[in-house]
Amino acid sequence: MGTRKKVHTFVRVKPTDDFAHEMIKYGDDNKSIDIHLKKDTRRGVVNNQQTDWSFKLDGVLHNASQDLVYETVAKDVVAQALDGYNGTIMCYGQTGAGKTYTMTGTTENYKHRGILPRALQQVFRMIEERPTHAITVRVSYLEIYNESLFDLLSTLPYVGPSVTPMTIVENPQGVFIKGLSVHLTSQEEDAFSLLFEGETNRIIASHTMNKNSSRSHCIFTIYVEAHSRTLSDEKYITSKINLVDLAGSERLGKSGSEGRVLKEATYINKSLSFLEQAIIALGDQKREHIPFRQCKLTHALKDSLGGNCNMVLLTNIYGEAAQLEETLSSLRFASRMKLVTTEPAINEKYDAERMVKNLEKELALLKQELAIHDSLANRTLVNYDPMDEIQIAEINSQVRRYLEGTLDEIDIINLRQIQEVFNQFRVVLSQQEQEVESALRRKYTLIDKNDFAAISAVQKAGLVDVDGHLVGEPDGQGFGLGVTPFSAKPGKKSKSKKTFKEQLSSSARKEGASSPVSGKELDVSTSKTQLTPSSKEGDVKDMTIRERETSSIEPLPSDSPKEELRPPRPSTPPPKPVAFEDFKNERGSEINRIFKENKSILNERRKRASETTQRINAIKREMDVTKEALNFQKSLREKQGEYENKGLMIIDEEEFLLILKLKDLKKQYRTEYQDLRDLRAEIQYCQHLVDQCRHRLLTEFDIWYNESFFIPEDLQVALKPGGSIRPGMVPVSRIMSLGEDAQDKFSQLQQVLLPEGPDSVAFYNAKVKTEQKHNYLKTMMGLQQAHRK
């Protein structure tokens, strides 16, 4: 483990023209801040009001640029993350103090980008500088809104909304969010696209303190995994960087929040209060319990608060006199956070595949060394490989001869042979036990003492005494449950048995021809209702493949032969039902195929569930008939007189077979019922896949229909391969007014901005793509609403 270190705390003051110079002063070392308040004369002569406060911090950032803030606060944390250390950077403060600007910045200007995009850029720059390591980067974006967890990247087409709500789960490796999507990013531009996608989904509101106030806590996490390309060591390092943008605390009297905004403010202040309680508990060395589970925010940040990571807190405050009380509250929080200690440590894991290869190499070397040792010790050639079937059979033969007394001793060669000798002793002992049990079963009907159902059945039948001894035919060693001798049965037994069979036959005819019970004989045969187990694993694999195909469907390219041979477009758009059939045969053929296959699987599962239900009903009817026959046999025995042998009750073979048959039917009933429950779960899952395919098919059809029949023919050339516009990228409402395409505008933007920021290409690329996507979605929603009207 690493050495313990305190949390680094910094303060950033929001620039203002009305700075309170008389009340707020900075230390010469720029690591302290002093607050002075004038005494309230309205309290009288005796006034013990505190007027001065001094706070020691790791740095005060006043009129600092975004570059300076990142260099001071975040650069070292991100750099150590690639060495295997977890890191957390948190922005805390009053609403409108500049937390989101500090963390995210603005997407309009590259220079004003915040800590988060700069951290992504630094990670990919450092990856390029480490060619000896294979480093993968993944990201996730979590939002905590009104004590509920949301995935800000769930709007991506390959993710989709989660069916089950997300939950916070703890395991020995730490805390993680179950249901949160994690996305692999191979280049800087992809990471920026995910960041911008999540930012557009954040919840904001307006009040008197801030026009664009964040109404939720957001945690952007960067996961790093590094494998060495040069070393064959199975160890690799992992780390994660949590970039936390907390919602601002509010004084409702100042913000003037009402309605929904008021409810959001209540949840925000409550969670921040719980966060402060957890910080106070962490700073107290005598406290044993830390209240992490009081709210979702503290529970999700359990690893970051006092865990094994580098923790940095950036407190944003106002510099105005009107906000001095909130500034004091934020600085108190920062000073409490400074008392918290963490224990950063490198996160090392082991690659199982590489470990196996290294162990195989080491095993080969050890075998070679062992062979050299045997030759130096003048030992004969010894085989240390695992034994084959012939060698095992030879050892089994030696063990049997040793037990029979024909072999005096067994020669020992190596340790593996000793283990196999003991193993064969166990095998021989088990075989002898089975032979003894089978011999007893041929003579007696045995009941396992641990089978409480069978024991209960024979107890109800009066076959055991108070001490639990079973009665049967004596064999000189004791008593066991067996077939009653024919001489012990009364002379009228056969007649009564015939009467019983006739009654049973009539009852079976009442149940109908589908009843599995025969009136001619009553066998305890399990073959009548035994079912062949279904290949559930194969079915689950099929459904998993269907789901992957469904989630990974891409629109077919527009350069297919069918579209090239398409007849001229009619002057008026065709009816949607007709166009839909054409779409299913052309561009949507792949989606339609998967939809039909999923639907066929769903119908097959429903058919199997129906058949299983019919079998369950048949088994239930058979159980009822067997119970009726058992009750009849019992009542018949009571009428004829109960026979005893040395004070214990004896039943005949037919009644005992009925008891066993009832037990077997109950077992089959439970098995079939479990199969039915599994099938119902599969049906529910298949129905979800079918609905997902149907939704995708209709969505793709709407896009195809609008682009095929609403875009003028002279602009269709731009949508073909080699054109500057991809189908689905440009909204239909903007097609008519395209003076220049998006690529031309972006090229002009690059010519203006690239001389000032050569590294901004990925940033602006991601920004343009995100804007195009969301403009397209808005336009399509507008078209759908207009079509409905």
Domain boundaries, the chain: 5-37+50-350, 353-434, 578-726
Percentage of the chain modeled with pLDDT above 90: 14
So what's the pLDDT on residue 468?
55
User: What's the DSSP call for residue 180?
Assistant: -
- The helix or strand, by DSSP H or E, that contains position 327, with its residue range, turns out to be helix 324-338
Highest mean pLDDT among 292-296, 523-527, 729-733 belongs to 292-296
- Whether residue 98 is annotated as binding a ligand: the answer is yes
- What is the 3-class SS of 62-77, one letter each residue? ECCCHHHHHHHHCHHH
So what's the pLDDT on residue 526?
34
Residue written as token pair 């719980």: 274
Contacts of 483 (CB under 8 A, 6+ apart): 445, 472, 473, 653
So what's the pLDDT on residue 308?
82
So what's the pLDDT on residue 74?
92
| Tens of pLDDT, residues 636-658 | 877 776 655 555 556 777 888 88
- The helix or strand, by DSSP H or E, that contains position 310, with its residue range, turns out to be strand 309-317
Q: Which stretch of 258-262, 450-454, 484-488, 531-535 has the lowest confidence by average pLDDT? A: 531-535
So what's the pLDDT on residue 448?
64
**Angle at the Cα of 630 from the Cα atoms of 628 and 634, rounded to 5 degrees:** 120
So what's the pLDDT on residue 494?
40
492 has a pLDDT exceeding 60: no
166 has a pLDDT exceeding 90: no
So what's the pLDDT on residue 121?
92
Q: Which stretch of 395-409, 450-464, 499-513, 744-758 has the lowest confidence by average pLDDT? A: 499-513
524 has a pLDDT exceeding 60: no
Percentage of the chain modeled with pLDDT above 70: 72
Band (pLDDT 50/70/90 cuts) for residue 449 is low
Q: Which stretch of 112-126, 171-185, 275-289, 741-755 has the lowest confidence by average pLDDT? A: 741-755
Q: Tell me the HSE value of 387 on the side-chain side, using a 13 A CA sphere.
A: 19
- Whether residue 432 is annotated as binding a ligand: the answer is no
- Whether residue 185 is annotated as binding a ligand: the answer is no
| Tens of pLDDT, residues 102-155 | 999 887 788 888 999 999 999 999 999 988 888 999 999 999 988 889 888 887
What integer is the mean pLDDT of 717-744? Answer: 49
Answer yes or no: are the C-beta atoms of 228 and 132 closer than 8 Å. Answer: yes
- Whether residue 132 is annotated as binding a ligand: the answer is no
CA 750, CA 762: separation in Å to the nearest integer? Answer: 11
Answer yes or no: are the C-beta atoms of 109 and 263 closer than 8 Å. Answer: no
So what's the pLDDT on residue 558?
38
Highest mean pLDDT among 92-96, 478-482, 490-494, 545-549 belongs to 92-96
Q: What is the mean pLDDT of the chain?
A: 76
Band (pLDDT 50/70/90 cuts) for residue 450 is low
Band (pLDDT 50/70/90 cuts) for residue 515 is very low
At the topology level, CATH places domain 5-37+50-350 in Kinesin (3.40.850)
So what's the pLDDT on residue 545?
45
Contacts of 590 (CB under 8 A, 6+ apart): 553, 556
CA 118, CA 121: separation in Å to the nearest integer? Answer: 5
CA 100, CA 212: separation in Å to the nearest integer? Answer: 10
Nearest of 114, 103, 100, 98 to residue 66 by alpha carbon: 114
Tokens coding 410: 């067994």
- Whether residue 478 is annotated as binding a ligand: the answer is no
- Whether residue 100 is annotated as binding a ligand: the answer is yes
- Whether residue 99 is annotated as binding a ligand: the answer is yes
Question: Does residue 432 or residue 749 have the better pLDDT?
Answer: 432
Band (pLDDT 50/70/90 cuts) for residue 454 is low
- Whether residue 94 is annotated as binding a ligand: the answer is yes
Q: Which stretch of 184-193, 208-217, 482-491 has the lowest confidence by average pLDDT? A: 482-491
| Tens of pLDDT, residues 352-379 | 777 788 888 888 888 888 888 877 877 7
CA 92, CA 305: separation in Å to the nearest integer? Answer: 14
Answer yes or no: are the C-beta atoms of 237 and 134 closer than 8 Å. Answer: no
499 has a pLDDT exceeding 50: no
So what's the pLDDT on residue 742?
54
What integer is the mean pLDDT of 508-514? Answer: 40
Q: Tell me the HSE value of 3 on the side-chain side, using a 13 A CA sphere.
A: 1
Band (pLDDT 50/70/90 cuts) for residue 405 is confident
Band (pLDDT 50/70/90 cuts) for residue 81 is very high
541 has a pLDDT exceeding 70: no
